[in-house]
C-alpha cells in the first residue's frame, strides 16, 4: 500500500526492510483498533495486549531504532496521515 509513496520519494530503504516495517505497521494499526474495540465491549484483553506487545510493538520498536533519520522522517509522515484518517488504511 505505501510502496507507491516509498518508490516515488526515492527512499533509501531497501524493499525487504520496507516490506517488513510496512507489515509491522499495518499489524500495529489493525491490532490497536481491534484491542480498543474489544475493550469498549468490556472484553478482558490483557493476554491479547501482552501478545500484541511481544509480536508487534517490540519488533516494531527494534526496527525503528535501526532506521536512518530519513527513513524515520518518511514513516513519521505516513503515521501522521494514518492518524488523520483515524487509522483507516485505504
- What is the full DSSP assignment across 40-86? HTT---HHHHHHHIIIIIHHHHHHHHHS-HHHHHHHHHHHHHHHHTT
**Cell 472484553 identifies what position?**
43
User: Which residues span the domain enclosing 63?
Assistant: 14-84
Residue 89's pLDDT is 54
The C-alpha atoms of residue 26 and residue 8 are separated, in whole angstroms, by 20
Residue 83's pLDDT is 79
**Domain assignment present for 5:** no
**Domain assignment present for 51:** yes
Q: Chunk the chain into consecutive blocks of 10 residues (it has 90) and report each block's average pLDDT, rounded to whole numbers.
A: 47 78 91 94 95 96 93 90 69
How many domains does the chain fold into? 1
**Domain assignment present for 6:** no
Amino acid at each position: 500500500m505505501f510502496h507507491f509513496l516509498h518508490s516515488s520519494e526515492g527512499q533509501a530503504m531497501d524493499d525487504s526492510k520496507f516490506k517488513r516495517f510496512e507489515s509491522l505497521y499495518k499489524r500495529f494499526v489493525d491490532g490497536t483498533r481491534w484491542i480498543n474495540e474489544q475493550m469498549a465491549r468490556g472484553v478482558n484483553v490483557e493476554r491479547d495486549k501482552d501478545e500484541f506487545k511481544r509480536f508487534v510493538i517490540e519488533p516494531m520498536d527494534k526496527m525503528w531504532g535501526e532506521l536512518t533519520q530519513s527513513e524515520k522522517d518518511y514513516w513519521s509522515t505516513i503515521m501522521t496521515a494514518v492518524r488523520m484518517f483515524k487509522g483507516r488504511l485505504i
